[in-house]
Structures are given as structure tokens and as C-alpha cells.
Amino acid sequence: MHLELLVEEPSAEAALSELLPKIVGVQVTWAIHVHQGKRDLLTKLPNRLRAYARWLPRDWAIVVLVDEDREDCLELKGLLQHSAEGAGLSTTARPGPGHSIQVVNRIAVEELEAWFFGDVEALRNAYPGVPATLAGKSKYRDPDAITGGTWEALERVLQRAGYFRGGLAKIEAARCIARVMEPSRNRSRSFCCFRDALAALPSSQSPSRPSDKGNGQ
């Protein structure tokens, strides 16, 4: 099977490049397509999905990942679903014949960095100065409920621990933390939804022309 992932920004690409082999294994190939922010992705999504629909092999799936960014989650999910349906593609919400899934829509609540707070052990392995008590603090017990921006919260936590004094390097942090994350222990509900949806995809739905894309290439 092959996955085409559409993401907002380079930090998502950095994190997923480390996480995907842990979630889908080495038999699944994938390519990540980075956009210039959420609005750029959402604006281009309908046309891009219609283009995919014209040639998408049966053993390929498209994964769309966007941040919630304090928007109405149901409205955002509806927008993603509408784009897929408009292209005539099946989704996890509305599978096609034989329960086939061509598009997986997932939302990071409220931002990708919540997933890093979902695995504090990985956060501390990447940045040992982060206190062991972090996971027990009320503000961080539910990663998806962190308010005021999760990337800003991550920046504050890391700066207090002595890192990124000049400002959070989002790509570097995403790569370093994701590299040591363990998907099975993550406490972020939105991450678990993403992980479980990808893990549930069949490794091969039917014979098709071989992919010329390798993992991350």
C-alpha cells in the first residue's frame, strides 16, 4: 500500500517522517506533500482530490492532516468530508464498496504540538531538561485541552528547561521528539484517532501497478 499525505507545514512533515514507520510499518510506502499553511491546503484540497480521483490506484490512500487551530471541529471535519465527497472519493466516514477507504481526514487538536505533550516521556528523552513532573500538572494532563496555543505552550516548556532561548525551532523540535515517540502510549485523543485510522488501513487492497515512491522519497 502507498499513502499520499497532505499536511500544512514542514514541522508536520518532520514529525510524520519519524512516526509513519512506527504506525504503518516498513511495507507501506508514503510521500508527504507540504503546503504553505492551513488555508493553502484547504483552498487547494478540492481540486487536488479531484485530480487524484482520476488516477488513484486501488492500493493507495490519501491522508489529510490539519490543525484545529481553535476552529469549530465539526465544521472543519465537514469541510474535509465535503471536499472528498465532491471528488467522488470514499472516506473513513463513508467507505466505498467492500469498505474501501480512499481518503483519511484527521485533525490535530488544537495543533500538532499537542501530540508531543501526549508523550511526555518522549519529550523528556529528546530534551532531558524538561521536568519529570510535567505530565502530572493539570494543564498538561489532557494534551488536546491545552489552551492558548500548543506550540506556544511547547515553546514555554522548552525555554524554561533551557532550550530554544531565541524561539522554538518547530521543525527541529518536531523531528527530535517524534523520533523517540512511542505511538502506543500517546495520551492525545486526536493522535490516537490518527494512529488508529492509519493502522486500520489494509497493507494491500488489491493488485495494482507498483509504486515508484519509497518511504519519504
Predicted confidence (pLDDT) per residue in 29-65, tens digit: 999 999 999 999 999 999 999 999 999 999 999 999 9
User: Can you give the pTM of this predicted structure?
Assistant: 0.90
Identify whether residues 101 and 173 lie together within a single domain. no
The Cα 174–Cα 123 span in angstroms is 10
Identify whether residues 10 and 103 lie together within a single domain. yes
> Does 174 reside within a domain?
yes
Identify whether residues 23 and 82 lie together within a single domain. yes
Q: Could you report the per-residue pLDDT of 87-127, keeping only the tens digit for each? A: 999 999 999 988 899 999 999 998 999 999 999 999 999 99
Tell whether the model's pLDDT for residue 199 goes beyond 90: yes
pLDDT given for residue 215 in this prediction: 45
Identify whether residues 58 and 149 lie together within a single domain. no
Tell whether the model's pLDDT for residue 181 goes beyond 70: yes
Identify whether residues 162 and 196 lie together within a single domain. no
Residues 8, 108 contacting (CB under 8 angstroms): no
> Does 217 reside within a domain?
no
pLDDT given for residue 208 in this prediction: 35
Identify whether residues 66 and 136 lie together within a single domain. no
Tell whether the model's pLDDT for residue 214 goes beyond 50: no
Identify whether residues 37 and 123 lie together within a single domain. no
Q: Which domain, by its residues, includes 167?
A: 113-185
Identify whether residues 26 and 133 lie together within a single domain. no
Confidence of residue 203 (pLDDT cuts 50, 70, 90): low
Identify whether residues 106 and 11 lie together within a single domain. yes
Identify whether residues 143 and 98 lie together within a single domain. no
Q: For position 89, which CATH number holds?
A: 3.40.50
Q: How many domains does the chain have?
A: 2
> Does 215 reside within a domain?
no
Phi-psi region of 16 (alpha: psi -120 to 50; beta: other; left: phi over 0): alpha
pLDDT given for residue 135 in this prediction: 87
Residue scoring higher pLDDT (148 or 4): 4
How would you class 192 by CB atoms within 10 Å of its CB: exposed for 0-12, middle for 13-18, buried for 19 or more?
middle
Tell whether the model's pLDDT for residue 211 goes beyond 70: no
